[in-house]
Structure 1
C-alpha cells in the first residue's frame, strides 16, 4: 500500500496572506520597537531564510530575522513576546479566530480529493509544523474528521523525520495493508530534507519526496530547482496534481 503524508501550510492551504503576513508583521513591529527603523521582510527574504532548511517554525523564523537585522545588538524582548504578537495577528483576538489572518486562508485541496484517495486504496495523513489547533482549524474547514495528524506539539520540528514516521505508524496501526511506499508532500527545503533523513531512520520503507511550489512563489523554476537540489523526487505546481503525476511516475 502507498501512504501519502501531507504537510499543511503551502500545500493544503495558502498561507501567503496569513502565516507569512504575520511573520512579516512581527519582524516589522519588533524592529521598529527595538531600533526605530522601518523594516519589513519581503516574501523573497522569508523564502531565502526558509531555503536554509532550518526555519520551518515561523515563530523561530520571526525571531531569527529580528536578530539578523539587529546584527549583534541585544534582543531585549522575549521569545514569548514574539510568539504572542505573532499569534495576535494570525489567530486574532476573538476566541473563534474570525478576526485573525487564519480566517481568510484560501484552501488549495478539497474534501473530495481525500475521499478519492481513500477510494483508491491510498492511506493518508498529515505531518505539519503548525500547531494542532491551527491544523485542526483548516482540516475542519475541509470536513475531515479525526485524520492522522502529527502537529507541532507532537514531534520535533522538521527536518527531524520523527513526526513523519509517527504518522506512518499510526496509519499502519489501523490494520491497513502492509505499507511499501511512503510519499511525503511538502513545500519547503525542510520538508524535502525530512524525507532524506527518514531514509536513514527507517530504511524499511521506500520514500518519495514530493515538492509542491507554494502559491506565493514568483520564480517557480528557481524554486523547483531548490526543492530538487534538497531531495525532491517530484515537483508539482499544486497538490491536486499528485495522484495523476505519481501514477505516471510509477508507470
Structure 2
C-alpha cells in the first residue's frame, strides 16, 4: 500500500499519527519480555519484573525507551538492596546488546527473536479506510527505525509511510517527533496548518507528547487518543488504574483497539468542545 493515494486537498478533517508499540503491534511478549529478560540478567537472576512492575514504571511518563526502562529497573532493584547507582557496575551499551539479542535475536542481520512473534493490532484495510475518508496518517514511534519498518513495511505491506522513529527525534514526551511527522504529512498533502492532529498511543508518555505539542503550537487542536494494551484487558483492577493514568495525562477518549478510531469516530471527536 502506498500513501500517494492519500494526498488530499487542504479540506481534510484531521491528521492522525499513530504510535506503533501497543497500538499497531502487541509488544507484551516481545519488548516487555526482553525488558524482563534484561533486568533478570543484570540483577543476577534475583529480580524479574512483572507486567505490573513495567506498567507502573511506564505510568511515570518518561520511560518510553525500553533500554532506558530496563536500566532503570536494574538500578531500582539494587537501590532497594541498599546500593547507590554509582556502585552498580552496569554498562549501558552491554545492556542494549543483551536486550537486542533477545528482541531481534542473536544475529542482527537475520532476526529470529521475539519481534518475529508479535501479533498485529490493526490491518491494512483500516488504514485504507482512513485514506478513503480523506484522513492523512503517519507514525511516530520510539522504536528504532529498522524495528518500526519491520512491522510497517514487512508485516503490513506499507510503502514508505511517514515515520519518525528513535533515530529521528528526541524521546517522548518531547513532541519534536510528533511535530516532524505532522510536518511531513502537511508537505505531502498540502494540508492547512490549522488542521487538528490526533495522536494515538498506549502510554502516559504518548498522551503527554500531545499535550506538549499543544504548548508548541497552541493555535492548533491536539487530541490524545489512548489505546489499552492487550495484556491489561483481562485484569479489571489494573485496567481501571491504567485508564485513569491515560486520562490524567490528557487522553480524550480510550479504546480497546486502534481500529475503533474510525472516520466517523474521528469526526465525533472533532465536534467535541476543544
TM-score normalised by length of structure 2: 0.87
Which string of whole-angstrom CA distances, capped at 9 and with x for unpartnered residues, describes residues 171-212 of structure 1?
Answer: 000133324110000000000000111111112311110010
CA distance in 1 between counterparts of 2:46 and 2:73 reads: 14
Which string of whole-angstrom CA distances, capped at 9 and with x for unpartnered residues, describes residues 108-142 of structure 1?
Answer: 01111111111110010000000000000000210
Compute the displacement of 1:38 (Å).
2.1
| Counterpart check, 1:11 vs 2:23 | yes
| Residue number among 43, 52, 60 corresponding to 1:44 in the alignment | 52
Q: Provide the residue aligned with 1:223 in structure 2.
A: 242
| Residue number among 57, 73, 76 corresponding to 2:89 in the alignment | 76
Compute the displacement of 1:12 (Å).
0.3
CA distance in 2 between counterparts of 1:61 and 1:233 reads: 26
| Residue number among 213, 225, 230 corresponding to 2:228 in the alignment | 213
Question: What is the DSSP-based 3-state SS (H/G/I as helix, E as strand, rest coil) of the residue aligned with 1:163?
Answer: helix
| Residue number among 124, 129, 148 corresponding to 2:162 in the alignment | 148
Q: Provide the residue aligned with 2:188 in structure 1.
A: 174
CA distance in 1 between counterparts of 2:189 and 2:97 reads: 41
| Counterpart check, 1:247 vs 2:263 | no
Which string of whole-angstrom CA distances, capped at 9 and with x for unpartnered residues, describes residues 200-241 of structure 1?
Answer: 111231111001001111332221111001111111111000
Dislocated runs of 4+, deviation >4 Å: none
Which string of whole-angstrom CA distances, capped at 9 and with x for unpartnered residues, describes residues 37-63 of structure 1?
Answer: 521000000000010001000000000
Q: Provide the residue aligned with 2:38 in structure 1.
A: 26
Q: Provide the aligned C-alpha RMSD in A.
A: 1.2
Mean CA deviation greater in 136-145 or 173-182: 173-182
CA distance in 2 between counterparts of 1:213 and 1:156 reads: 24
Compute the displacement of 1:7 (Å).
0.1
CA distance in 1 between counterparts of 2:135 and 2:25 reads: 21
CA distance in 1 between counterparts of 2:177 and 2:270 reads: 26
Compute the displacement of 1:153 (Å).
0.3
CA distance in 2 between counterparts of 1:250 and 1:84 reads: 44
Question: What is the DSSP-based 3-state SS (H/G/I as helix, E as strand, rest coil) of the residue aligned with 2:200?
Answer: strand
**Does the 8 Å CA contact 2:185/2:191 hold for their aligned counterparts?**
no
Q: Provide the residue aligned with 1:235 in structure 2.
A: 254
Q: Provide the residue aligned with 1:56 in structure 2.
A: 64
Compute the displacement of 1:247 (Å).
3.1
Question: What is the DSSP-based 3-state SS (H/G/I as helix, E as strand, rest coil) of the residue aligned with 1:113?
Answer: helix
**Which consecutive residues of structure 1, in runs of 5 or more, have no partner in the other structure?**
none
CA distance in 2 between counterparts of 1:250 and 1:5 reads: 15
Q: Provide the residue aligned with 1:190 in structure 2.
A: 205
Compute the displacement of 1:92 (Å).
0.1
